Structure 1
Amino acid sequence: MTHRIRAARPDDLDALYDLAKLTGGGFTNLPAERETLAKKLESSSAGFARDGDEQSGDLYIFMLEEYATGRIRGTCQVFGEVGTTQPFYSYRITTLTQHSKELERTFRNQLLNLVTDLEGSSEVGGLFLHPHERAGGLGLLLARSRYLFIKQHRARFGDRTLAELRGVMDEAGHSPFWDALAGRFFGMSFPEADEFNAVHGTQFIADLMPSTPIYINMLPESARAVIGQPHPSGRAALRMLEKEGFAWDGYVDIFDGGPTVIAKTDRIKSVRDANEIAFAGTGEEEGDVEMLVATGKLEDFRCCYAHAHKDADGGLRLDPQAAKMLEVKEGDMLLAVNRR
């Protein structure tokens, strides 16, 4: 129990930039562009500081901190509502069935339809863990902490939550889906378009992207093969999302064809199963259960793993290190869910 999640601060810029440089591209929510990251941290601070509990297009950035040293080892993000300032575009895969009586044959063709169906949803994204830390459940800590934050501030989030997974690309960062489709209309490579989107937003998509459905069979095999497939590095993230109750419903990213998975917010496992309980002090006893525990509102939000057990009065006792990382005193309210 050596790491905790906390709200990002403007002075995390250097650490966030260092993480962004390690992503290998394709992370729209974490571009290796210092000025853009600084603006994102400003937006995050404004989201944490906003008065009122209604849903809005807030951005919340969190940092994975090694508590003893203060080193930043990962990050993740939550968006209160997508599509508030610019359209939120996706491709939706649909099927068109056509029958020829003369040929006595039925054809079922899949099409990509440009849609904004998911506007109004909340989004979890921007998760990146330092390559040297991919052990010990830290990726799971990053991912699930977001759901505890959502439950702590439920009125700020929508009825649906989505997650976009990075699609398949080669070692040079080129996407076969982009090259076969959108790249033909934008006159730029996938890395160029991805960077432009991260910095300037999505309006250029509305300006140039064809709005007519695209027959998937007209795309080359290299593009068809990756539609709805996550990047190999994202397969573990997809499994974590599926375990939380997210499912793929035919939506894919218009840039790289990666899957967009969706869940009813209140049915996300960590949201549904987390319970509020008072902190009853520290103690380590046989039978302790390993839990994910959070406390604090907005910019004071903190989350970590803890060895915990309920005392006779119904409060929750934590191991001393977890209590220290959470900065709690007896009587403070916790949000807790079993680690497994």
Structure 2
Amino acid sequence: MQSIQHSNYSNIYHLLYKNEKLSKQDIADSLDLSLPTVSSNLQKLLDRGLIIKNGQLKSTIGRRATAYSIEPNVSLSLGVEIFRNYSTVTILNLRHEVLAVHTVNLPFSNDLHYSQSLSQQLLILIQNKGYKSEQFIGVGIGIQGLISNDGTTILYGKILDSTGMKASNFSQFLPFPVTFFHDADCVAVAENAYHAMDGIFMSIGEHLGTAIIINGSILKSPSGRDGTMEHITLDSVNGRVCYCGRKGCIETYCSLSSLLKPNETLSSFFTELQHSKTEIVDRFHKYLKLLAESIYNLHMFVDIPIVIAGQLTKYMNVETMNVIKKYLKDYSVFPEDEEYLRLGHVVDHAVAIGAAIPGIEARIEEI
């Protein structure tokens, strides 16, 4: 009997989570429950602060029914993206709404002093925004590197020299748990939360990262190397030298580092592109051609949608996507009945947003 009661309680909450607002009758009809059962469980959810009364629903006859919604801010999650010279922090509520974005100007260092300093900045941010530490589920940290499947250890982090760093370095200074995530996985999770779909996600930023979502979940391997397709090679003999030590990795052709010159920013590059500066136009089309070749190689690996995501997304448009699709058509050796290339939607802070989402999903699952 107890399990049935908990099931009704959970089912009602999850139904409300999937909808903006519902009446008692809506809930009763959707879950095939009696109104007294619905009323009893709604009161429990109200008492625990998990839902709120949210106005009234429109009605053409009789009294307007009270509307119920989840309380999205009862639990919050922190997401952090660590860069070499600073970190970006986001605060998300249960609806994945971004309540705050903050930059911490703290150079990265793989030591306890850095972990303590960043942790202190997170606590200061929480206080300054008027939240309580007890509201927070935890913090997810997105970082460039291979991560253990339990999210406790950076197994390999050559770019930031973060190999061996432990999540416990941070959690000992915080009143909630800390979990590491591969930055490309975070981007895929953020995109999937915005628009659910399976696919290969190419996170294009300073470096290229890749992740695969199958059946709604990140594809994981025991080694942590589930998303390192950026080290597939186009030219392993005469290609560009990659930070991994090999030549010709698609990282060296598809990352923003491969597109931009030193001291050149993405915004300045696309400003020049809009002015049709010849050198910029030629460089961009060469980049798009190499990007298309890399995309086609991934397409040959597994025939699922491929999503261009990350920082580049903000500057892509229909015209640019059509150029890539034309190159893909030229590369194609098989008939293609459907377009498989997609453009991501999360244009800002995708890593920090995606790092916060797993904690939210785990919290929702617990209810």
Give the TM-score of the pair, scaled to structure 2: 0.25
Q: Max radius of gyration: which structure?
A: 2
Q: Which has the higher helix share?
A: 2
Give the TM-score of the pair, scaled to structure 1: 0.27
Structure number with greater CO (CA < 8 Å, separation at least 6) is 1
Q: Which has the higher strand share?
A: 1
